[in-house]
């Protein structure tokens, strides 16, 4: 649950290795002729052992049928020029005030993709989020045996929870399906050629839905940072003192520090969205 703002950079490197050339130079000597031997003909390999063509990736949750059920053909911009298109579509869905208050619209499609992927990992850098970080600092309370997450900390998330749970799920699904080709392209560019973004999204949602509900006090600790530069914002370094919580994926840790009541509302919305991107429920 580290609150660090380190930038996480995803790098996909393709290395092509060609064949090597060897030049044998003979200085002051004549090459010795070598008798030419006609090689024996090589029989064709049986078709049963011919190299098989790469198998197409298995898609568990295709969106094509859903796309046709919510909208007609849409002409999309290129991924690199999609910011304005995505921003206008978000404003149409949510309203300008909500978009400016809660969303980071620059490079929105790529940020959605990288954040979804990172939520299932140990860290999800806030600088890459498609939503603006919750303002203020983490609220804690000091007790005799250490530092604990304050009960009032959950209230920091109230405006975002109200925003998130008020979004019309059917319309949000329609926008997602409308922009899906861009999400897919961004996912492949991230380093997953041949993989299907909607499958990854469903996988991450399922992981978030498995987040446990905490019923007791949540003890925190500060990450041990070595260096000569003093830490001026120690609240950015809080993590769960319980290793079993701290080792959980980034998305689950975000829900845990939101508080149980907030997490339940977010999970309910996620479950509703999941149903619509995995069944023909999108047109309901």
Q: Encode pLDDT of 154-172 as tens digits.
A: 999 999 999 999 999 999 9
User: How many residues does the structure list for the chain?
Assistant: 284
Structure confidence at residue 74 (pLDDT) = 74
Name the nearest CA neighbour of 260 among 204, 199, 217, 227. Answer: 217
The sign of the CA dihedral 129, 134, 135, 138 is negative
pLDDT reading at 19 higher than 50: no
> How many CA within 13 A on the CB side of residue 219?
8
Distance between CA atoms of residues 133 and 127, nearest Å: 9
Q: DSSP letter for 148, please.
A: E
Within 10 angstroms of residue 276's Cβ, the number of other Cβ atoms is: 21
Rounded Cα distance, 81 and 162, in Å: 31
Task: Tell me if the pTM is above 0.85.
Answer: no
> What pLDDT, on a 0 to 100 scale, did the predictor assign at position 68?
75
Choose the weakest-confidence range: 13-17, 121-125, 207-211: 13-17
- Residues whose CB is less than 8 angstroms from the CB of residue 176 and which lie 6 or more positions away in sequence, other chains included: 183, 277
Say whether pLDDT at 32 is over 90.
no
Q: How far apart (Å, rounded) are the C-alpha atoms in residues 207 and 44?
A: 50
| 39-70 pLDDT, tens digit each | 444 444 445 444 555 556 789 999 988 887 76
Q: Is the pLDDT of residue 228 over 90?
A: no
Instruction: Provide the pLDDT for residue 43.
Output: 47
CA torsion, ordered 40, 44, 49, 53, to nearest 10 deg: 120
pLDDT score of 236:
57
Check whether 196 has a pLDDT greater than 50: yes
């Amino acid at each position: 649950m580290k609150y660090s703002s380190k930038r996480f950079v995803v790098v996909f490197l393709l290395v092509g290795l060609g064949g090597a050339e060897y030049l044998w130079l003979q200085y002051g000597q004549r090459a010795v002729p070598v008798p030419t031997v006609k090689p024996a003909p090589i029989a064709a390999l049986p078709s049963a052992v011919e190299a098989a063509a790469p198998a197409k990736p298995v898609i568990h949750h295709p969106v094509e049928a859903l796309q046709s059920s919510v909208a007609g053909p849409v002409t999309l911009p290129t991924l690199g020029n999609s910011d304005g298109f995505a921003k206008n579509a978000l404003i149409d869905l949510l309203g300008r005030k909500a978009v400016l208050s809660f969303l980071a619209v620059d490079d929105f499609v790529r940020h959605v993709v990288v954040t979804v992927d990172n939520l299932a990992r140990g860290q999800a850098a806030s600088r890459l989020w498609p939503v603006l970080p919750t303002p203020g600092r983490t609220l804690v309370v000091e007790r005799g045996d250490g530092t604990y997450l304050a009960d009032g900390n959950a209230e920091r998330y109230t405006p975002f929870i109200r925003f998130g749970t008020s979004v019309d799920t059917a319309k949000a699904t329609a926008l997602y399906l409308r922009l899906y080709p861009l999400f897919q392209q961004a996912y492949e560019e991230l380093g997953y050629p041949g993989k299907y973004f909607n499958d990854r999204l469903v996988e991450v949602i399922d992981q978030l839905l498995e987040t446990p509900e905490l019923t007791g006090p949540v003890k925190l600790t500060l990450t041990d940072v070595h260096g000569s530069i003093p830490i001026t914002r120690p609240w950015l370094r809080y993590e769960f003192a319980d290793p079993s919580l701290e080792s959980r994926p980034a998305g689950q840790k975000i829900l845990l520090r939101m508080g149980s009541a907030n997490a339940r509302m977010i999970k309910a919305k996620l479950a509703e969205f999941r149903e619509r991107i995995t069944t023909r429920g999108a047109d309901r």
